[in-house]
Amino acid sequence: MSDKKTLLFGGDTCMGFESAMYFEGVNKMLDEADFRMCQLEKPYLKELIPGAAEDRLTDVLYPMIGKMDLVTLAGNHFYDFGEKGVKDTMDWCHENGIATAGGGANVSEANAPVFVEKDGVKIGVIAINAVGPKHSFAGENKGGAGCLNFTRAYIPVNEMDQRDNKNEFDVHQLEKNIRMEGEFNSFNFVDPEAYVEYGDAVAAAKAQCDILIAYFHMGYVHKEFILAPYERLLSRVAIDSGADVVLASHSHIMHGVEMYKGKAIYHGLNNFVFWAPYLSAKFKGKVSNTADMNYSEWVARREKKFGFSPDPDYPTYPFLKNSVYCMAAKLIIEDKKVVSYRLVPMLVEKSGVPYPHGNTEKGNEILDYIRTITEKAGLNAKFSWDGDDVVIGACA
């Protein structure tokens, strides 16, 4: 007789004041899963340091105790409080029975797979930051996030389409600097060697566990539909090397879903439980333990940079309009194999509290949006209801 288990993964999670209230909508869903994970977006401190407010103390994390089995730490903010933030966050998690992946006191520790056994099933997790900034990356003698090295290229707009360009250059010919004028676009390109090293690491980790989860912090922030050039390739390298599923977040809005070789790639789960009032134009509270500050200048720069104004009706959740649509990834495991890839549609209320929605009018509204972003991204996943879960499959 087979023994079915469920694994649930939520996206970016950021805690703050009254954190228990923000977990109220997802507690039942977490209690019903056998193994629970999320991406912890920021570091937390056991004692305040200059520049940190009381909402960044580890005390606010207590609603995760007994609700999360593992958190990934491979985010762009993980080094915000330096070595102390890295150590305090990891120590608190381990002291409270929560495993961590994708963060460490050095790059070897941060990049290493982490294994957790749950009811006889050995689950491995490799968590990697593929988006930067490199300041957040762990180093040989520096704490931080697990990472893949990338090169940032600045390409002149008039060179983007080279069909009418007769110049033939390769890297061996570019011995002298070339001066170019005009507007540039920037792109991150994962180094070819990093793909190979990552693939080898995934293969080695898969040999040590039953289920291997590849998590990436990657993608364009606040952009619907658009995937960065490296995302699909990196995800496929993970699966080709042995990963059973690819999960990603960072963009603070959902991205579509892809099926590849019978395995799911969740390109962007969006947020899970997320408290960020300091990004709202309404915020005028304390942002450090030394001064009261008004974030209006940063909010204005943020709106100009990303091209949207947060809805003032969501004072603790200041993101794009459609970012209220979220999902949790759900895997059904049987006989130590993934037998079904699913998702749970979620909606963030004006209170900032997220709630899962099943096969109801609201659940179908969220699912319609997931279908739309998947199709607009050119991805192949198809979706159907099974009770209150959405089952993911590939198009015929």
Does 232 have pLDDT greater than 50? yes
Least confident of 16-30, 80-94, 164-178, 272-286: 164-178
Specify the pLDDT at position 118.
92
Q: Is the pLDDT of residue 286 over 60?
A: no
How many other CB atoms are there within 10 angstroms of residue 182's CB atom?
8
> Would you say residue 94 has pLDDT above 70?
yes
Mean pLDDT of 163-181: 66
Task: Give me the pLDDT at residue 167, please.
Answer: 61
Any residues with CB less than 8 A from the CB of 345 and at least 6 apart, and which? Answer: 325, 326, 327, 356, 357, 358, 363, 366, 367, 370, 390
Residue 106 has pLDDT above 50, yes or no: yes
- Helix-, strand-, coil-residue percentages of the chain, each rounded to 5: 25, 30, 40
Using the predicted structure, report yes or no on whether residue 390 has a pLDDT greater than 60: yes
Asked if 144 contacts 137 with a C-beta cutoff of 8 angstroms, the reply is yes
- Across the chain, how many H-helices and E-strands are there? 8, 20
What are 352-382's pLDDT values in tens digits?
999 999 999 999 999 999 999 999 999 999 9
Structure tokens at 258: 């892809």
Average pLDDT over residues 338-345: 98
Among 174-183, 260-269, 302-311, 335-344, the minimum mean pLDDT is found in 174-183
The pTM score is 0.94
Quick one: pLDDT at residue 18?
Answer: 93
Residue 302 clears pLDDT 90, i.e. is over it: no
Phi, psi of 354 (to 5 degrees): -85, 145
**Cα(24)–Cα(352) distance, integer angstroms:** 11
pLDDT at position 289 is 43
The fold for domain 5-150+192-394 equals: Purple Acid Phosphatase; chain A, domain 2 (3.60.21)
Which residues lie below 8 Å from residue 226, measured CB to CB, with a gap of 6+?
220, 377
Average predicted confidence (pLDDT) for the chain: 92
Q: What is the pLDDT of residue 174?
A: 57
pLDDT one-digit tens code per residue, 46-87: 999 988 888 999 999 999 999 999 999 999 999 999 999 999
Task: Answer yes or no: are the C-beta atoms of 272 and 326 closer than 8 Å.
Answer: yes
Q: How confident is the model at residue 1 (pLDDT cuts 50, 70, 90)?
A: very low
pLDDT at 158: 78
Most confident of 42-51, 200-209, 273-282: 200-209
**Total Cβ atoms within 10 A of residue 18:** 13
Q: Assess whether pLDDT exceeds 60 at residue 287.
A: no
